Amino acid sequence: MKIPMTKKGYEALQAELTRLKREERPKNIQAITEAREHGDLKENAEYKAAKEHQQFINTRMTELEYKLANAQVVEKSGSASETIVFGVTVSMLNMESQEEKRYTLVGEDEADLKNGSISVQSPIGRALIGHRVGDIVEVHRPAGIIEYEIQSICFEEPL
């Protein structure tokens, strides 16, 4: 299964994998070696913590390698789009509160609501895909349905 992401998101995952391999794993191996020197491994909290961190590093590296191997880097094609697709920035108006929202639709690993990036797999992201300027979109959430009117669609970098 392909995992959609921006070029920036792909590069961030690559950088994290490189950091884990070149920095974190060697530090962890050293921590395990030092903890072993302290004696009885059954009663050694430092050893246990270092081994748990080793498990975390290995799991994260496997996850990153999978995501990178299955990445589908979606390039931005131009500065405008008539419909909402992966990578666009959408301005929309909450029909109830009249509050304007602006989100960039990105891959799951790139989502950062504080910076205006939401996952295309999120309830809002899924509801927006395929709509056009002027459309009213219903977003179903546990607290109820929210309606948004699409104000504009463009390709730009998330904040």
How would you write 45-74 as a 3-class SS string?
A: HHHHHHHHHHHHHHHHHHHHHHHHHCEEEC
Domain boundary among 73, 96, 116: 73
Residue range(s) defining the domain that contains residue 50: 3-73
Find the distance separating the first CA and the last CA of the chain, reported in whole Å.
28
Domain boundary among 27, 46, 73: 73
The per-residue pLDDT for 157 is: 53
Mean pLDDT along residues 67-90: 83
Residues 8 and 64 in one domain: yes
Per-residue pLDDT tens digits for 85-97: 998 999 999 999 9
pLDDT surpasses 60 at 79? no
Domain boundary among 41, 73, 105: 73
- Do the domain assignments include residue 82? no
Residues 53 and 104 in one domain: no
> In what side-by-side order are the strands of the sheet with 88-94?
117-119, 100-106, 88-94, 144-155, 136-141
Q: Is 134 helix (H, G, I), strand (E, B) or coil?
A: coil
Instruction: Using a cut of 0.85, tell me whether the model's pTM lies above it.
Output: no
Q: How many domains does the chain have?
A: 2
Residues 97 and 133 in one domain: yes
The answer to whether 84 and 91 have CB atoms below 8 angstroms apart is: no
The answer to whether 86 and 71 have CB atoms below 8 angstroms apart is: no
- Do the domain assignments include residue 83? no
